[in-house]
Amino acid sequence: LQQSGLLQHIIPGITTARIESEPESWTRLLDSLHRLTKSPLETSLALIWTTIGEREWTSGNRKDLESHQRDMKLSNDSIKTINWVIASLPKVLTASTEFWPEIQEILIDPRSDCLMNTAIAVAEREDQRNHIRFCQDMLDQPIEKLNPPPLLDGNIILQHQLATGKEIGRLLKAVRDAQLLGEITTTSEAISYVESVNGGN
């Protein structure tokens, strides 16, 4: 990409001087690319933008990144996947220390295969690899354990007059988090949990 001049179209602002001044970054990128087990476009671009373009794209400057992606004529689905991978990657690299319901939501996403492939490629430290193994162990679980059916839905909350309106969404999330953490396992327990969270109203 550098020799062909295409790299500047992938990461605007990249110059030969910068490339020569940051040899470690380029070595890290090449090592990461070699570790990719699958190389779809989204994975490769996410890897490049998180390794070399991290100063430009991972410091809250996502609107510029998306504008650049559209200039590259990437599809909307590709843009969403790439940016989701970039945003989710830090969580995966610290997964076992994070709030499990947040990690679970990431792992059950259809794009998680692309994310895990990117994470494996960028992981340089043993602690990062341990977090990735944690995610892989979770993904190896039966789907009913990784992503069990919700214990409650909005209709049940309304039937029991536990809440109305926007409050229902907040309570459903609280119940789901408690379920994923193993604090409740039945619908009856979920209803009692909502009553306790909601002050019995």
Percent of the chain with pLDDT over 90: 57
Q: Which amino acid is at 176?
A: R
- Global confidence as pTM: 0.82
Nearest-angstrom CA–CA distance, 55 and 200: 49
CA 129 to chain centre: 16
H-type alpha helices, 40-186: 41-51, 54-57, 62-71, 76-92, 100-107, 112-122, 126-139, 143-146, 154-159, 167-180
Residue scoring higher pLDDT (59 or 144): 144
Enclosing domain of residue 176: 154-197
pLDDT of residue 39: 74
Judgement on whether residues 102 and 131 belong to the same structural domain of the protein: yes
**Residue at 1 is within a domain:** no
**Residue at 128 is within a domain:** yes
b/e code 99-134 from CB counts within 10 Å (16+ = b): eeeebbbbbeeebbebbbbbbbbbbeeeebeebbeb
pLDDT, average across residues 66-91: 91
Judgement on whether residues 127 and 183 belong to the same structural domain of the protein: no
pLDDT of residue 19: 59
Average pLDDT, the chain: 85
The answer to whether 43 and 85 are in contact (CB under 8 A) is yes
**Residue at 23 is within a domain:** yes
pLDDT of residue 21: 63
Judgement on whether residues 142 and 72 belong to the same structural domain of the protein: yes
Q: Going by C-beta distance under 8 Å and a sequence separation of 6 or more, which residues neighbour residue 84?
A: 109, 111, 115
Q: Write the pLDDT tens digit of every residue in 115-158.
A: 999 999 989 899 999 999 999 999 999 999 999 999 999 999 99
Joined together, the tokens standing for residue 68 give 């650049």
The answer to whether 118 and 47 are in contact (CB under 8 A) is yes
Length in residues, the chain = 201
C-alpha count within 13 angstroms, C-beta hemisphere, residue 21: 5
What confidence tier does 27 reach under pLDDT thresholds 50, 70, 90?
confident
Look at the chain and report how many structural domains it folds into.
Answer: 2
